[in-house]
Amino acid sequence: MEKKIVFITGGSKGIGLELAKEFVRNDFYIINFSRSKIPLTHLNCKHIYCDLAKSDAVKIFGSELNSVIDKFGNSVEKWILINNAGVLEPILPVVKLQNTQAISEHFAINLVNPIKFSVDFMVALSQQISNKMIINVGSGAANQPIEGWALYGSSKVALHYFTATTALEQSREKYPVKMILFDPGKTDTNMQAIIRSTEKANFPLVEHFQQAFDLGTLNDPTRLAKNLVLKIINDTLKQGELVSHKDLLKF
């Protein structure tokens, strides 16, 4: 039987974990890259320890990617990379962003390593005729400035542009990789808990997010994951498509 393989970053919690669970339910083989171990014991789920803030993350990913290619080769029906891992911190006004290491690690997780992983994925699989897809998890923060989120918004703007540009380039390839951008919106995850605990002096909109939680209007990560995986299984996603939480919650 042909295999369906998913490489995912940050699959140990939040939306990443819900996606991993949904993929496993649908007979995909999951390989997770994160510091914390994914809480799934299924035979089709493998965890690779990887600090995505560090420069050696791409070496770890590349090694595992090549190992899977060598092992399964042309027996893979679908190859998927999901650059899901992301951080909000540091949530601070720009004048307080004085920790250069924190800045570097933020961009390594949110932008640099997702780009490097994507490049390795595309190059290594360039001659594979099977279905290939990269899903980058974006954010509505890329569409408007938000005080305290200068780093987060900047990293997501760049990731959106990278995804759209790569989609244009891949559309001309003989065996293209489909580039997808996924905007989960305000979703009930640990990231939202971090936002709600931020001091108003550093994040003036904190009360807006606290209210969304109190009113129960945050998106359900399980439902988002189920409907996104359904689109992947049904092969209805188009090259360069932005998959919004608004669309996924319609059904």
Question: Where do the structural domains in the chain lie, given as residue ranges?
Answer: 3-186+220-248
Q: What is the CATH number of domain 3-186+220-248?
A: 3.40.50.720
Per DSSP bridges, beta strands 3-9 and 29-34 are parallel
Task: Convert the pLDDT of each residue in 193-225 to its tens digit.
Answer: 899 999 999 989 889 899 988 998 888 999 999
Give yes or no for a contact between 136 and 83, defined as CB atoms under 8 angstroms apart. Answer: yes
**Max Cα–Cα distance, the chain, nearest Å:** 56
Beta strands in 88-177 (DSSP E): 131-137
Please determine, for residue 191, whether its predicted confidence score (pLDDT) is greater than 90. Answer: no
pLDDT computed for residue 232 by the predictor: 96
**Which residues are CB-contacts of 8 (< 8 A; sequence separation ≥ 6)?**
16, 19, 20, 30, 31, 32, 33, 81, 82, 84
Q: Which of 116, 133, 59 is nearest to 48 (CA)?
A: 59
Distance of CA 173 to the CA centre of its chain: 24
The residue that leads in pLDDT, 40 or 105, is 105
What is the C-alpha to C-alpha distance for residues 158 and 127, in angstroms, rounded to an integer? Answer: 28
Please determine, for residue 1, whether its predicted confidence score (pLDDT) is greater than 60. Answer: no
Computed on alpha carbons and rounded to an integer, the radius of gyration of the chain in Å comes to 18
Provide mean pLDDT across the span 161-186: 97
- Mean pLDDT of all residues belonging to the chain: 94
The residue that leads in pLDDT, 216 or 149, is 149
pLDDT class of 15 with cuts at 50, 70, 90: very high
Least confident span in 37-41, 78-82, 90-94, 222-226: 37-41
| Rounded (10°) angle between helices 100-107 and 150-170 | 30
Burial category of 161 from C-beta neighbours within 10 Å (exposed 0-12, middle 13-18, buried 19 and up) = exposed
Q: Indicate whether this model's pTM tops 0.85.
A: yes
